[in-house]
Amino acid sequence: MQVIRQLVEIRAKVASLQAEGKRIALVPTMGYLHDGHLSLLREARGRADILIMSLFVNPTQFAPGEDLDLYPRDEEGDLAKAKSCGVDIVFCPDATELYPDNFQTSISLKKLAAPMCGESRPIHFAGVATVVTKLFNLCQPQVAVFGQKDAQQLAILKQLVIDLNFDIEIIGCPIVREEDGLAMSSRNVRLSPSERKQARSLLEAFSAPTRDSTAASETRKP
């Protein structure tokens, strides 16, 4: 497994893979890998000759005051996990090279990015769309794999490849859950016991039978 940090190096590597006719899969991550990420890597592994995983905590998707500095990181552990899933190349760009001083472009989606998470995190999805566009340009994948946990992000990225004419298949993989039902997330380590309980209660609320479905099953009873 090769670890590439410089843009000039990933470009050269991708160009030589393309010259050999290799099909490339990309799994973009912000690291601190858990079993959810590993399921994305395994899915992508089966879909291409070369599997690239990017490992980059993207500053532009965090607003000032959000948890950029506190976001959990463990590069050594991530590299070991990536290797165990058959990753060929881990691309770990440097923020100063990806976003040099005069950087000024932002990709934003008018409708899909505004509601739900976009209401409380108004710049988040533009940061995601911008960095993923840059990763697509640098890694030139035929297929890219993301989690269904971030459903709004997945919808946005599916729209982005249509809008920007990327010839990339976007695959969404099912949510992987902790034993207590909480969706796996790198940020779960930052939850206090009471926050974790609150987060689980959302799943319980969504899984609870609705009054309509209860009424329907009552009427079906003999």
Give me the catalytic one of 14, 30, 37, 43. 37
Q: Which is nearer to ligand PAF, 13 or 37 (CB)?
A: 37
Piece of the chain touching ligand PAF by CB under 6 A; list 22-30, 42-50, 69-77, 78-86: 22-30
How many whole angstroms separate alpha carbon 160 and alpha carbon 86? 28
Size of site (CB under 6 A) for ligand PAF: 10
- Find the part of the chain contacting ligand PAF (CB under 6 A) among 23-31, 89-97, 102-110, 137-145: 23-31
What is the spatial distance between Cα 95 and Cα 93, in angstroms, rounded to a whole number?
6
CB of 56 to ligand PAF, least distance (A): 7
Binding mask 88-127 for ligand PAF (x = CB under 6 A): ----------------------------------------
User: Which of 4, 24, 26, 29 is in the footprint of ligand PAF by CB under 6 A?
Assistant: 29
Complex with ligand PAF: residue 72 or 216, whichever CB lies closer: 72
28 binds ligand PAF (CB under 6 A): yes
Structure token pair of residue 56: 């980059």
Site for ligand PAF, residues 129 to 188, rule: CB under 6 A: 131-132, 150, 153
Query: Quick check: is 37 catalytic?
Result: yes
Q: How far is the CB of 57 from ligand PAF (least distance, A)?
A: 8
SS3 per-residue string spanning the chain = CEEECCHHHHHHHHHHHHHCCCCEEEEEECCCCCHHHHHHHHHHHCCCCEEEEEECCCHHHCCCCCCCCCCCCCHHHHHHHHHHCCCCEEECCCHHHHCCCCCCCCCCCCCCCCCCHHHHCCCHHHHHHHHHHHHHHHHCCCEEEEECCCHHHHHHHHHHHHHCCCCCEEEEECCCECCCCCECCHHHHHCCHHHHHHHHHHHHHHHCCCHHHHHHHHHHCC
Least CB distance to ligand PAF at residue 7 (A): 16
For ligand PAF, the binding residues (CB under 6 A) are 28-30, 58, 61, 128, 131-132, 150, 153
Catalytic machinery residues? 37
